[in-house]
Structure 1
Amino acid sequence: MRKVLASLSFIFLIPNLFGYIDPGTGGYLISSLWSWLVGIVTLLFAVVIRFFKYKVWFFCKKYKFYIMPVLLLCVAGASWFYFDFKSGFTLPDYDESRIGGNIILADKISSGYNLYNGILIDMEGNQIKNWSFNYLSIIDEDGFYYAQEGYETMRFGKFYFNGTPVWIKDIPIHHEIYLSDYDTVIVMTKKMEVYNGRNVEFDVLFEFDKNGTFLTKWSTFDNLIEIQSFHRELELDKPANIILPEDHEKNTSIWGAEHDYYHMNAFSIIPDNKMKDFHPAFKPGNWIVSFRHGSMTFILDKDTKKVLWSGIFDQIEGNLEGQHLALMNYDGNIEIFDNGRYRGWSRIVEINPATMEVVSEIKFDDFFTYSQGFFQDLDNGNMLITESEDGHIFEIDSDKNIVWEFYNPKFKEMEEENDRKIHDEIYRMTRYDKDFIDKLLAEEN
């Protein structure tokens, strides 16, 4: 009787082992893919031992000289797969010969100044200026500079071009400072909520005017039921389990949580476009939000904030995997930086939001960033692409030729790899018109 109860207990644990897992969820819980496989193998082993142990024993005894080599091959194969899987995420070594700006096709580039990590450089990679607040840095059309003090720090603000503060807010933001065409500033923050017995971060959007006056907010937690109606169950929808402890908690964040439900990572506002009369979702002013966990992109009504459109994981040809950045272009297509978080290569995909058809795809050999990533459509038709984890930026023309590239001159040491040096990350790089920046520099001097 005890054996029967023990076997049944494994069966009842299956719902707690399994949650909807797709590339991009983050894998913070026992329901991450590897743990789920271990749970299934354990269940099968328990069932076999309970009901077929004598048959298994006689089989093993009869074929013991064949079973051992097979087991060794299985172990060797699993080991090869594991290390080959890990090697797919190895970042290239730091290379001094590649640092700085490299103009490859001078007549094809969209010349200007480049801003990244609070540093302004020219096309040759020479540093022109830097600011003390250096994360999520961006410059508006009037020359004001906006940035967070550092990664996941408690303050962000607006500054004159010379660095003098206009206002600073004590709000821990992440991923985005978005300057709208309506003279507002939209940022992302998070709020900790107790959800299914865990401390969980839920994303919140704050909108301010450019004087720093708070205007409105939108919370994923307050709208959770509506958003969940568009997607399958995620890991954190499973209640905490005492028998199977969570094995992928992250450290407690500045928002006070160990888990992150959606992990919003990009925001944009729909501009004027050819699809604006096709469907209410595509009207200028509507919001586009990107969630890494679940690999989801949504369009929200600009007034009601109701979901009007969604593009989720396998709804997109080739599957989205933990994407960053989603925006609509003038043709009415949505461009997405698809990280390919687990397939091992990244792409920038353009889709028709009415048909979900892939219109175009940009990918290169060795183009991969496991997280982060950014692109900017330039005025001459080129595209500036940030391969964040490699500390690598490259500009391509309309024929997908690389015409300019830049490697971060700063490096970091990988402690887990005997202090091997790699190029430091670049979260985003943004190109600015040369005359615009020259005017600001002249006024400052």
Structure 2
Amino acid sequence: MDFEQVRKILSASIIAFILGVITTDMHLYFPYETFQKVKSGFREIKSRVSGDLPWYLHRTDRTTTVDVFNRDVIQPGLSLVTGLGPGNHSQASVIDVDGNVIHNWQFDWFELWPNAEHVHDHLKSITIPNTHGVKLMSNGDLIFSLEYAGLFRVDLCGNVIWRFPRMTHHSVFLDDAGYLWTLGLDYSESISENLPGYAPGYYDFKIFKMSTDGELIQEWRLFELLKDNNLESLLYMSSIKPGAPVLTDDTLHPNDIEIFPSTMKPGFFESGDIMVSMRNIHTVAVFDSSMKIKKVFTGSFIRQHDPDFIDGNTISVFDNYTHTYTLDVPYSRILYLTSDSDVPFIRYSGTDQQPFYTHVMGKHEHLDNGNLLITEASQGRAFELKDNDIVWQFHNVLPEGLIGFIDEVQRLGPEFDEAFFRHNVQKCSTNN
């Protein structure tokens, strides 16, 4: 890129910044798309000039995406990979064990939802939505959340089937009864008598139960659920002010919701129990189906993600363990915790010899053959463990020597084979 190109993009970026300020202050939508796209270009130029990259990109010499270390013990099946694609747009790809792309969706927020009015200006100004929470349906449709922007269902051809106009984020879960569960929020600019100590500019967190047709069945306000269960102190854990607490912004940061399945043998946890992870207060709470609290896990992990039910008495947690970032080799962990103890069992941990760390995001999946599939989100890597040995790994290699972050890698069931995608993709060309 020559100096003249840099000069033009920098000039456009300055103009876009001014337009962005006007957009935010005057609540205008029209310049927002231009502002965001040029802002993205400005970040790219800045990174090239300074040599720095944003957290979601890393430099690499890799040209291939997959390493197969022990083919004989890998859980069979294709994998669904969601995360950053070329051009800083989100994408979802189905790949085989060798990294060959079987199917791909490209998601451009501005094309999926032009002129969206439900996203608050504050959130428009701080983020470009990326996939965060994805479920592949039995017919090949993809239901996914674009972070803080909305929930979508698209078919294999990429056609939008429905859009849910609320600010959803982080998690999409399909329960045994066929209902979708996801997380949402509203942005509050006023003082609430029900939340003393909360200053304007806080996120009001929600739980949504929905049909697979995109209809809202029921919603709960997370603040009220905690207060109703005598857990009011959790609302104020992130305050650092002496005396009366003053809080605002992203106080709880809920980042996952999961329902205990009827196919799992019950114990302390039972069918219909609802588990919610709240990162910024280092807490995982399990409610029964009437939203009465059953168990609160706090203190065994730091800025966690993706708790899963393992059995009727046990959960696993992706423990980001972010305070280790000061070490030469920081590390994250996968923990097991039981309903009758606060002492975690460390299932897996990063080491100097086998680094594993992500300061944000992160997922893990217990596979049918007993292996563990871990998504190291900020590093753009996922790897499959047999015991504690890596038998397969994926890197999200992008053009120009970069690796982009990934939201999640999921191993698909045997019904989602190559023939399934070939057969159903043919309908795209037939219908278009």
The TM-score with structure 2 as length reference comes to 0.68
> Residue 400 of structure 1 aligns with which residue?
388
Unpaired runs of at least 5, structure 2: 1-53, 83-91, 108-129, 325-329, 427-432
1:114 aligns with 2:101: no
1:364 and 1:408 map into 2 onto residues whose CA distance is 20
> Residue 136 of structure 2 aligns with which residue?
139
> Residue 183 of structure 1 aligns with which residue?
178
Pair 1:228–1:159, CA change in 2 (3 A): same
2:201 and 2:55 map into 1 onto residues whose CA distance is 32
Percent identical among aligned pairs is 22
Q: Give the root-mean-square deviation of aligned CA atoms.
A: 3.0
2:251 and 2:230 map into 1 onto residues whose CA distance is 12
> Residue 372 of structure 1 aligns with which residue?
361
Is the CA contact 1:337–1:375 (under 8 Å) kept in the aligned structure 2?
yes
Once the two structures are TM-superposed, the CA of residue 163 in structure 1 deviates from its matched residue by: 2.4
Once the two structures are TM-superposed, the CA of residue 93 in structure 1 deviates from its matched residue by: 5.0
**Residue identity opposite 2:218 in structure 1:** T
Is the CA contact 1:137–1:145 (under 8 Å) kept in the aligned structure 2?
yes
- Name which of structure 1's ranges 324-333 and 432-441 shifts more when overlaid on structure 2: 432-441
Higher strand share: 2
Pair 1:115–1:206, CA change in 2 (3 A): same
Please point out which of 123, 132, 141 is paired with 2:97: 123
Pair 1:227–1:374, CA change in 2 (3 A): farther
1:260 aligns with 2:250: yes
1:431 and 1:440 map into 2 onto residues whose CA distance is 15
Q: In structure 2, the residue corresponding to 1:329 is in which secondary structure?
A: strand
The TM-score with structure 1 as length reference comes to 0.66
Is the CA contact 2:79–2:95 (under 8 Å) kept in the aligned structure 1?
yes
> Residue 430 of structure 1 aligns with which residue?
410
Once the two structures are TM-superposed, the CA of residue 141 in structure 1 deviates from its matched residue by: 2.9
> Residue 213 of structure 1 aligns with which residue?
215
Once the two structures are TM-superposed, the CA of residue 132 in structure 1 deviates from its matched residue by: 3.3
Unpaired runs of at least 5, structure 1: 1-88, 250-257, 413-420
Once the two structures are TM-superposed, the CA of residue 329 in structure 1 deviates from its matched residue by: 1.3
Is the CA contact 2:180–2:209 (under 8 Å) kept in the aligned structure 1?
yes
Please point out which of 329, 341, 345 is paired with 2:331: 345
**Residue identity opposite 1:171 in structure 2:** R
**Residue identity opposite 2:366 in structure 1:** D
**Residue identity opposite 2:102 in structure 1:** I
Q: Deviations over 1:287-310 (max 9, x none)?
A: 0000001100000111x2121110
Q: In structure 2, the residue corresponding to 1:342 is in which secondary structure?
A: helix
Pairing 1:184-203 to 2, within 5 Å after superposition: 184-193=179-188, 194=191, 195=195, 196=197, 197-203=199-205
1:295 and 1:227 map into 2 onto residues whose CA distance is 18
2:172 and 2:399 map into 1 onto residues whose CA distance is 26
1:91 and 1:144 map into 2 onto residues whose CA distance is 27
Once the two structures are TM-superposed, the CA of residue 405 in structure 1 deviates from its matched residue by: 0.3
Please point out which of 345, 356, 375 is paired with 2:342: 356
Q: In structure 1, the residue corresponding to 2:412 is in which secondary structure?
A: strand
Pair 1:222–1:358, CA change in 2 (3 A): closer
2:263 and 2:319 map into 1 onto residues whose CA distance is 22
Please point out which of 315, 323, 343 is paired with 1:334: 315
